[in-house]
Amino acid sequence: MSQSVFTHLPACFDGFPGALLHLSPGGRVIESNGHLERELGKPVVGERFSEIIDAESCGEKWDRVLAAASSTGAPSTCELVLGKGETMLEPKAFSVLWDAESSFIWLVQHPSDRRMDNVRQQVTEVNSELASAQRGLVRERERLAHSLADTERSNRALDEFAHAISHDLKAPLRSVANYARRIEEGLGAQLTGEPRAHMELLRTQVERMKDGAHIAEPNEGDRERDRAVPDPVASSRSIAQRAVSPCITI
């Protein structure tokens, strides 16, 4: 059993917020200040440090750092991922220091500020949400452009329909009006009371429908207004109202 190397440290290191490890030149943990044990939930003294870290991502990295520390004795810094069962801990930064007798290696974790860790985590999450929101906006913008093109096509079709209807209505309405007039003239004084009132109402309604037929053709002002408010339901209702409002209320 090696002597407790931590007794050689100043007292202030008792409260050091990061891990302090004392390793053999081969990388085996001789002493620990208990920080990693608490975090990993398992003992680390006696273990090779390479078995504590995630070998897949950091194995070769640690080997290189250890070899450099052993050969040059120069201090270096590295970030390593520690393994905790099925969970990977966030990478931790360590300074690797060679002791004065060149027989031990000190591994000193850079203390991290939980507040900064939280901020970094939040920034990462906000970045991810921003990336999702950007894509959502792109999709919605494209969908709206597509809907607008559809609406404009529908409005053009409605305009054409209204134009055709107005022309198709004029001829039969003119015939109805002419026949009504001939009946009134033919019957002359025989047409009295309620029948005469019905005939007058018929002519009046026909005249109103004839007036309405040309109103059913939307003018340029109407089209501009429809373009400004690209609502297919509203546009359809507007055209329908122009076509029939002189005759009936909808």
Could you tell me the smallest distance in angstroms from the CB atom of residue 58 to other proteins? 7
Q: Is 56 in the site for other proteins (CB under 8 A)?
A: yes
Enumerate the β-bridge partners of residue 78. 94
Q: What is the total residue count of the chain?
A: 250
Q: Is 57 in the site for other proteins (CB under 8 A)?
A: yes
- In order of 183, 232, 239, the CA distances from 161 in angstroms are 34, 15, 10
DSSP code for 88: E
Q: Is 118 in the site for other proteins (CB under 8 A)?
A: no
């003239």: which residue's tokens? 185
Question: Which parts of the chain fold into alpha helices (H)?
Answer: 35-40, 49-52, 55-72, 114-187, 193-215, 220-228, 232-244
Name the residue nearer to other proteins (CB basis): 29 or 80: 80
Could you tell me the smallest distance in angstroms from the CB atom of residue 26 to other proteins? 20
The stretch among 31-39, 135-143, 163-171, 216-224 that binds other proteins (CB under 8 A) is 135-143
Q: Which residues, numbered 140-169, are part of the site for other proteins (CB under 8 A)?
A: 142-143, 145-146
The stretch among 9-17, 32-40, 58-66, 178-186 that binds other proteins (CB under 8 A) is 58-66
Q: Which residues, numbered 85-114, are part of the site for other proteins (CB under 8 A)?
A: 85-88, 90-91, 93
Choose which of 4, 72, 118, 127 interacts with other proteins (CB under 8 A).
127
- Residues contacting 250, CB < 8 A, separation 6+: 240, 241, 244
